[in-house]
Amino acid sequence: RLILNSCFSLSQWNETIKLFRGGMPLKKHRLHFRTYGHCFSASEGVDCLHKLLRCNHNFGSEVTRSQTVQLLKKFLKNHVIEDIKGRWGKEDFEDNNRLYRFPPSSPLKPYPKKTTRLVRDLNPIFPDWNDYDVPRQGPVLVRPVILNADLWQKRHSIAIGEVPECRIIYRKEISKGTMEEIWKSITLSKLQKILGLDSLDGVLDAKLVNPKHIMYNVHYINKQGIVILENKSEELPHWVLSAMRCLANWPNGSDLNQPMYPGFERDVFKTIADYFQKLKEPLLTFEFYELFINILGLLQQQHVGIEALQVCCLLLPPENRRKLQLLMRMMARIVQNTEMPALHNAIGARMLMVQTFSRCILCSEDEVDLDELLAARLVSFMMDHYQDVLRIPDHLQGAVEEHLAHLRRVQIKYQGADADATLASYSCHQIIAEEFKEPRTSAQKSIACLLEEIIMDKSTSVKEKKRKLKQFQKSYPDVYQNRFPTTESEALLFPEKPKLKPQLMFFTMKKSFQPFQRTRSFRM
């Protein structure tokens, strides 16, 4: 705070004077059997100025009453105020009942137009050399220069040590590629945290995750949260959609315009089952089989299981996610519909749905023991909670939006900062009440976002990025450990080095090497 250091820029000095003169109520006071008008007591002045400073955004609630008294001493010394008898020039202001008034002349300091003056005259607020802890070595002349108000204020602020010289860096528009990498990185990080794993190795190959699918599944949805496909060729055939709508809204949803007959609903159900059973690949895809199988252990905790499935289903291609949403909605409605005729003579509706569509939703590329049982358990859970499972996870979208907002903020970099200034840069943003109450949490989030920014930066070389990450790990080990709990997770950031070709030199030497042969004796 500027007031804590007892130094102001010129504009802030004048602003504070205007604030005090405009907000200080003046009234009659009686002292030593005399009445004085348009004045105020010292205590009233402290009360008023203290309140004004605490409410001003330049100072804040941290200003104390003793600091306000010190400021009023400066006001008295610089003839901003005077005592009731017109005396000023000394810092003998105290928090008591003495009376003070404003002088008739303006106490505001003008901006200098031309300067050929002593160094001590550069401070318009405290003109005495003794206000500085610098030994006076005689007058030092400066070169005449014409300064405007803004330039003079900037130089004055830097000269008295108020702020270091800095420059503002405006962020460029975030590229599409960077945005995709952010979505992918945060999604995988959330998934790893939900699954409680040190690494996703062996569960999910990060190369198979397409960030475009995640972004499409989040943004292109209708009011019911179902994916809207731009490519109509990937849509379900019209006759399949009509059949599914017929059973989902039975008995009022038929638009097939065909006469009803006994067993009609069974034929419609068989038509739908035939289409899904002939798909080349299950809706959850072969490549994500291991991932969904690992979620089975979390289904006992309903909330955790739903949260894991929400994230995993965003990895699916949009056409698969849409088909899964429509199929799950139809299955759930058939099971819940008490008016639906029996679709099988010996099996109930719930068991029929699971047995018919479980392998259409999840199965491995190679036949595995208990494959069908595992798929039935997962599909049964998804059918019971399909509305929550196929909903967009709020925490994921919020984390991405917060990170993107951080990247778009203006940054301030100070003079002398080197290439590592990324670690020392500060974001300018308004602090809300919750962040003010929990500064530690907010700081950790900002530091974590800064780490993600270093990770996503494609403009730096691998060597430079490793150096920055090593410096970050040394400065913030806890945040770094949360992001990279194992060495394997850290190694995923950098491409594998190409393996060296086997050296042929050894074999060449071995082949060319021949043992010394015995020569015949030269003796006759």
Provide the token pair at 474.
């040394």
Task: Report whether 308 contacts 188 (CB < 8 A).
Answer: no
The span from the CA of 337 to the CA of 265, in Å, is 13
Percent of the chain with pLDDT over 90: 36
The whole-model pTM stands at 0.51
505 in any annotated domain: no
352 with 224, same domain?
A: yes
Residue in the structure block whose two tokens are 């430079």: 464
185 with 96, same domain?
A: no
| Domain stop point among 101, 124, 152 | 101
Q: What is the pLDDT of residue 505?
A: 47
DSSP string across 400-433: HHHHHHHHHS-EEEETT--GGGGTT-EE--PPPH
pLDDT tens for 345-375 read 999 999 999 999 999 999 988 866 567 888 9
Q: Identify any residues that bridge with 41 across adjacent strands, giving them in sequence order.
A: 99
Q: What's the whole-number mean pLDDT along residues 235-250?
A: 92
253 with 380, same domain?
A: yes
Check which CATH number belongs to the domain holding 360 and give it. 1.10.555.10
The span from the CA of 26 to the CA of 23, in Å, is 9
Which residues, including other chains, have CB under 8 Å from residue 480's CB and lie 6 or more apart?
Answer: 451, 469, 472, 473
Q: Which residue would you say has higher pLDDT here, 339 or 423?
A: 339
242 with 381, same domain?
A: yes
Q: What is the pLDDT of residue 324?
A: 96
Closest CA to 493 of 506, 482, 505, 484: 484
257 in any annotated domain: yes
pLDDT tens for 44-62 read 999 999 998 888 877 778 8
Q: What's the whole-number mean pLDDT along residues 310-334?
A: 96
pLDDT at position 206 over 80: yes
Q: What's the whole-number mean pLDDT along residues 508-512?
A: 46
| Domain stop point among 375, 398, 421 | 398
Provide the token pair at 461.
């070389």
Q: What's the whole-number mean pLDDT along residues 180-202?
A: 91
When pLDDT is cut at 50, 70 and 90, the band that residue 219 belongs to is very high
Q: What is the pLDDT of residue 406?
A: 80
pLDDT at position 282 over 90: yes
Q: What's the whole-number mean pLDDT along residues 93-120?
A: 71
Q: Where are the beta strands (DSSP E) in 214-359?
A: none
Q: What is the pLDDT of residue 32?
A: 84
Helix count and strand count (H, E) for the chain = 21, 9
Eight-state DSSP code of residue 84: T
Q: For the chain, what is the radius of gyration of the CA atoms?
A: 38
Domain extent, residue 92, equals 10-101
pLDDT at position 510 over 70: no
Strands 82-83 and 99-101: antiparallel
From residue 421, give the alpha-carbon distance in Å to each of 324, 403, 412, 416, 489.
48, 19, 10, 9, 26
pLDDT at position 318 over 80: yes
Q: What is the pLDDT of residue 197?
A: 87
| Domain stop point among 354, 383, 398 | 398
pLDDT tens for 452-470 read 777 877 777 788 788 878 8
Q: Which residue would you say has higher pLDDT here, 57 or 286?
A: 286
Task: Report whether 406 contacts 446 (CB < 8 A).
Answer: yes
pLDDT tens for 413-455 read 655 554 444 444 434 444 444 444 444 555 566 677 777 777 8
495 in any annotated domain: no
Least confident of 94-103, 182-191, 410-419: 410-419
Check which CATH number belongs to the domain holding 59 and give it. 1.10.10.10
From residue 344, give the alpha-carbon distance in Å to each of 202, 253, 330, 337.
40, 21, 17, 15
Task: Report whether 65 contacts 95 (CB < 8 A).
Answer: yes
Overall number of domains in the chain: 2
When pLDDT is cut at 50, 70 and 90, the band that residue 117 belongs to is very low
58 with 189, same domain?
A: no
Q: Which residue would you say has higher pLDDT here, 181 or 114?
A: 181
